[in-house]
Amino acid sequence: MGYDRDLSFVYFGPTKIVFGAGTSRDVDIEMAGLGCRKALVVTDPGVMKAGLVEGVREALGERCAGVWSDVPQDTGIGVVNSAAAFAREKGVDCVVSVGGGSVIDTGKGICILLMEGGGLENFEGIQLLTRPQTPHIVIPTTAGTGSEVTCMAVILDERKGQKMLIVEYFNAPRIAILDPKMTERLPPLLTASTGMDAMTHAVEALQSLSREPIADGLAMQAIRLLHRDLPVCTENGADLAARGQTQLAATMAGWAFGNAMVGLVHAMAHSIGAIARVPHGIANGILLPHVMAFNRDDAAEGYAMVAEALGVREKGMDEREAAEAAITAIRSFLERIGHPLRLSEVGVTDEDIAKSAALSLSDGAIVNNPRPVLDEEEVIAVYRAAF
């Protein structure tokens, strides 16, 4: 296996994992273990409606100082600032996020403001903080984003109409509680698309210019588990064992990409998400095999590992053949889990493609893509192939 002989990297993954059906009820014990007394529960209206917050609130009892449930699909500076003001009023010393990526990133933003004061607009940047931030417990309600274990948050700057990136080692969540019951009622399409977000994190970590052995190991296991259990979840959402394995896979993929970074799939998915409102997981899922085809010659080694994890690397196959087999396997996997296959199916127009291609070139994710992306035309061609 080829790592540079002078390989040098930092692996960062300080989050404690609590796993098992019903463990979201242990949130009070975990919180006490952090030495915290008053929590703000952060969530969104969908999660509230699904009744997932009630159990957490009950378990917290008096430790729950309030619930902030106004997180939109894409969180923004204004949302975080208002939620932090509410949290300050309540005198909280801990944040408990119950939800998907947008909720978790809101929680991360609140943690910074509770410790540092001010508005979130002052914290755009990388590794600016100099001390540990407010303790954050995350209870994911999807198996996909991996945000429960990363130190990154993506927050919309409403005034500029641009996403703002905050990367802070000091703000990684302290604890992630992976309770399969929290994902039990996720409908099949959402299960498939959030799962494909996790799959994309793992594949992009393996192809990354910053790949390293720890992230590679986590990504491989994430792919194995998703490959085995995601189809079970889309067929029978109530299978808690399979739900649990996909949650673990999403978390492992989170560690993998949180360290090795993502690539062109994410750059293109962020852009088509911003322009045509395609949900993140769906965009990733549709684009993944097409970007793999684009990267094939520059990422054969990583893709051969993907093939191995998917169980399609046959004896005697060289790396290129294995990479090809991986791409084919991802395509049929998408069909198997009932995931959309074309951008045109999800409302993308020709016009959206040109705008999104331009935006993709300025997305941070592109830096670690194994094949250098030189101009818009190349990105347009990939979008068209997926159209």
Binding-site ranges for Fe ion (CB under 5 A): 197
Report the residue number, 203 or 267, with the smaller CB distance to other proteins.
267
Nearest distance from C-beta of residue 162 to other proteins, angstroms: 8
Nearest distance from C-beta of residue 148 to other proteins, angstroms: 19
Q: Does 126 interact with other proteins (rule: CB under 8 A)?
A: yes
Nearest distance from C-beta of residue 138 to other proteins, angstroms: 21
> Which tokens sit at 126?
């990388």
Distance, CA of 168 to chain centre: 16
Alpha carbon distance 161, 105 (integer Å): 17
User: Among Fe ion, other proteins, none, what does residue 197 contact (CB within 5–8 Å per kind)?
Assistant: Fe ion
Q: Does 1 interact with other proteins (rule: CB under 8 A)?
A: no
Alpha carbon distance 247, 180 (integer Å): 7
User: Binders of other proteins among 173-212, rule CB under 8 A?
Assistant: 210
Nearest to 305 by CA among 203, 230, 214, 199: 203
Question: Contacting other proteins (CB under 8 A), which of 116, 124, 319, 378?
Answer: 124
Nearest distance from C-beta of residue 364 to other proteins, angstroms: 5
Count residues near other proteins (CB under 8 A). Answer: 22
Nearest distance from C-beta of residue 179 to other proteins, angstroms: 31
Q: Does 115 interact with other proteins (rule: CB under 8 A)?
A: no
Q: Say which DSSP state 159 is in.
A: T
User: Binders of other proteins among 145-164, rule CB under 8 A?
Assistant: 162-164
For β-strands 162-167 and 125-126, DSSP reports them as: parallel
Report the residue number, 129 or 167, with the smaller CB distance to Fe ion.
167
Alpha carbon distance 170, 129 (integer Å): 7
Question: Contacting other proteins (CB under 8 A), which of 34, 167, 189, 381?
Answer: 167
Please report which residue ranges of the chain form alpha helices under DSSP H: 27-33, 45-49, 52-60, 77-89, 101-116, 188-207, 213-235, 240-260, 264-276, 280-295, 300-310, 319-336, 350-360, 376-385
Nearest distance from C-beta of residue 278 to Fe ion, angstroms: 13
List residues bridging with 16 in a β-sheet: 175
Alpha carbon distance 65, 80 (integer Å): 17
Residues contributing to the site for other proteins (CB under 8 A): 9-10, 12, 124-128, 162-165, 167, 169, 210, 261, 361-364, 366-367
